[in-house]
Amino acid sequence: MSHLEPFPVRTTVNELLRLQELELILAESRIIHASASHPPTAIRQIEADIASLRAGIPMAHLRRYDRLRRSGLGVAQEEGGVCTACHLSVNQGDLIRMRRGEMAWTCPHCARFLLLTPANADSP
């Protein structure tokens, strides 16, 4: 089995989730404030935050994330052992391996980056 090196685990996936959220907010804000004569300055702050976040994420993970985002979500959260993007259960063994840092934090079904809930993410 091949993995990205280093594994995308909590820190990277958290950053990718934050990045995804900001990108979505930016897309929404560009639509709803498009006709405003004075768009909120917060839009420029979001653009700066996105640039800053992207600069801190390893390039290999960022490329993969961008590919996934072209068709919607790049990152999803795990809830109750289920990927909230594809709604399929993630094998408990895989969750344990992810928790131990032995496996990339990605959904085995839809390949999106997967942020584990704290209960499943705590290291033993």
Partner 1 sequence: MDIKTLLPRSHVLLNLQADNRRGLLEQLALPMQETGIVANLPRFVDDVERREEQITTQIGRELAIPHARSTVVRRLGITIGLAAAPGIPFHPGAQENCRTFFLIAVPAFAPTAHLTLLQGLVHFINDARRMEKLRAATTPTQVLNLLAAYKWPA
Q: Using the rule CB under 8 A, give the single segment among 4-12, 59-67, 75-83, 89-97 that binds partner 1.
A: 75-83
Q: Using the rule CB under 8 A, give the single segment among 4-12, 51-59, 83-91, 99-107 that binds partner 1.
A: 83-91
Within the chain, residue ranges assigned H as helices are 10-32, 42-56, 59-69, 92-100, 118-121
Q: Which of 3, 63, 67, 87 binds partner 1 (CB under 8 A)?
A: 87
Contacts of 19 (CB under 8 A, 6+ apart): 50, 53, 54, 57, 65
Q: Which lies closer to partner 1 via its Cβ, residue 4 or residue 86?
A: 86
Q: Which lies closer to partner 1 via its Cβ, residue 57 or residue 83?
A: 83
Q: Is 120 in the site for partner 1 (CB under 8 A)?
A: no
Q: Which of 9, 13, 57, 85 binds partner 1 (CB under 8 A)?
A: 85
- The SS3 of residue 14 is helix
Q: Is 27 in the site for partner 1 (CB under 8 A)?
A: yes
Q: How many CB atoms lie within 10 A of CB 115?
A: 21
**Which amino acid would we find at residue 84?**
T
Q: 76: burial class by Cβ within 10 Å (0-12, 13-18, 19+)?
A: buried
Q: Which lies closer to partner 1 via its Cβ, residue 32 or residue 55?
A: 32
Q: Is 28 in the site for partner 1 (CB under 8 A)?
A: yes
**Which amino acid would we find at residue 94?**
D
